[in-house]
Structure 1
Amino acid sequence: MEKERESGILLMNLSGAYEEQDFWREERSTWVRLEDLSGTNCYCDEPAIRAIREKIGEFTLSGIHFIDSGNYHYMTRIWMDKAKNPFSLLVFDNHTDMQPPAFGGLLSCGGWIADALESVELLDHVFLVGPDQSAFHQVQQVYKERVTFFSREDLQAARQTNSSSGVAASFLEMLSEYEKKTGKFSPVYLSVDKDVLNEQEVKTTWSQGDMSLTELKSCLEELQSFLKARKLPLQAADVCGEWEPENGGAGSPAGHDHANHELLEVLKGFDYEE
């Protein structure tokens, strides 16, 4: 078997969204061409899963993956199969992505975290930032026991503090409290769905939260410091939530291009697992 090559910055092209953006053009990036693959939109069937695994088979897990719109957030679950060491999953998302599958066990953008909790043995814990409290109440109890939830209401409460960095400080406190309670912390797999952001920042194809891009970046910077202080790597990072070109002009490519550029600059500062 040939040795895997470093992921670096990967662009997983399904909708063509990245072709209308510039954030990647001056980077050493690699395209994974999936635009002609059927059976991928929101739900991913077995032939498509096999084809995606073959496409990414030459790459290591470690790196930064841009995985297109939120319709394809299940890509994170597929990448997880490349993990070689225990890890925690940290997700910024306006949805829980822990819904039971509606169609015969197909992997979906709305249920991939539940699938990971059931089937990824190396997954220690999930930190989920963004969905409202009512969404979390609908999650099955068997999943809740392995998830630390930082809700939209928690974010709103954090903004009421006198500190200009209230959200980031509360986010850091969440991580620290878990470490204190369990006495451990694993390397992190980070996944960002831009639907956690408010509509003034970007417009996505799914309902959105109310985080600002500045708040999200501040949380990522706190995560970076938290992990470096413990000499822990980031296993991988991915970003989704693009506005697909076929949906028309409401989701400005310029807004997403700016957000992706800003997020990429932060993500490049992490230490990744070798």
Structure 2
Amino acid sequence: MKKVTLFNTKHQDILEKVYDGLYQDVIDLSDLEGINTICTYGTLQQISEKISTHKRSDIYFLGNGNFHYLTFPLTQQYTHPFTLIVFDHHNDAGSFPFAKMTTCGSWINDAIEQNPVIKEVIVIGSTQQNEKELVETNLSKIRFLYEKEMTKERIEELAKTIQTEDIYLSIDRDILTEKQVQTNWDQGTITVEQLLQAICLVAKNHQVIGSDVCGDLEWDYTSSFRYPMKKYLQQTYQVNKLLFEELEEVMQ
């Protein structure tokens, strides 16, 4: 069984109840300030130190999409060449004007610029309507397969062009249709079944060295007033379970 670690960024007791049975370890970030959506490099260093005190996991659950930037410190754990593959409704490689800070919409640039063993980043499932202004100096290291191109044939073709044997998979659930799961960002139209197939196809003939999942709702003490809780809880738990099982399968 592959190890799953849950990042707790807020209201630890609620989060642990929501995902009870899906994880084996917890990294608690709830004592850190200034981590929602935007994070300074100084705070990222504190996060990296917390990560280092835990045995490395196979799968990390990052919480809602505001924390997708946690993939950045997670991938800094690796020192040998790999390809970072990101399934996301947004490209997360937008330019950000402030130095020594990262965000949920720009973290891919930080990963590329600060970890030379990332040979390429492949973003799958974004839409051109959501495309942010990209950093020109990083364009040579980023490829896109847009949502409308996510056919079995195109993904198989893409998988054959991955330059490294080792790959890291990062999944934002906002790529999925809101008919199957709810997130805190606008969402794509991909079904869970399509995403699971895409993960399998990309991983074929490659070694998945690590993975993470984000795109949660923000569960807190007011959730019951904002969401039809029973329905959304069932959806989010079941989708996470399917994703974790698929990631575990491709990491065998």
For this structure pair, what is the TM-score category when the shorter chain's length is used for normalisation?
0.7 to 0.9
Q: State the partner residue of 1:163.
A: none
Q: State the partner residue of 2:167.
A: 188
Q: State the partner residue of 1:200.
A: 179
> Structure 2 CA distance, aligned partners of 1:58 and 1:143?
32
> Structure 2 CA distance, aligned partners of 1:65 and 1:8?
8
Out of 235, 249, 268, the position equivalent to 2:227 is 249
Contact 1:203 1:250 in 2 (8 A): no
Indicate the SS of the match to 1:238: strand
Indicate the SS of the match to 2:182: coil
Q: State the partner residue of 1:19.
A: 16
Counterpart mapping for 1:1-274 below 5 A: 8-16=3-11, 18-22=15-19, 24-25=20-21, 29-59=24-54, 61=56, 63-136=58-131, 138-155=133-150, 167-176=151-160, 178-179=161-162, 184-227=163-206, 233-246=207-220, 248-249=226-227, 252-271=232-251
Report the CA distance shift for 1:45/1:138 in structure 2 as closer, same or farther (over 3 A): closer
Structure-2-length-normalised TM-score? 0.87
* Of 261-270 and 100-109, the range deviating more from structure 2: 100-109
Deviations 1:86-143 (A, max 9, x none): 1100000011111122444411111000111222111100110111124447323332
Contact 1:243 1:253 in 2 (8 A): no
> Structure 1 CA distance, aligned partners of 2:72 and 2:233?
26
Shift of 1:49: 1.4
Deviations 1:1-40 (A, max 9, x none): xxxxxx9211111134633424x51x56101111222110
Amino acid of the structure 2 residue aligned with 1:11: L
* Of 235-244 and 142-151, the range deviating more from structure 2: 142-151
| Aligned-residue identity in percent | 26
**Number of residue equivalences:** 243
Contact 1:70 1:241 in 2 (8 A): yes
Amino acid of the structure 1 residue aligned with 2:249: G
Structure-1-length-normalised TM-score? 0.81
Indicate the SS of the match to 1:226: coil
Q: CA RMSD in A?
A: 2.2
What stretches of structure 1 of length at least 5 have no aligned partner?
1-6, 156-166, 228-232
Contact 1:61 1:235 in 2 (8 A): no
Shift of 1:52: 1.1
> Structure 2 CA distance, aligned partners of 1:218 and 1:69?
23
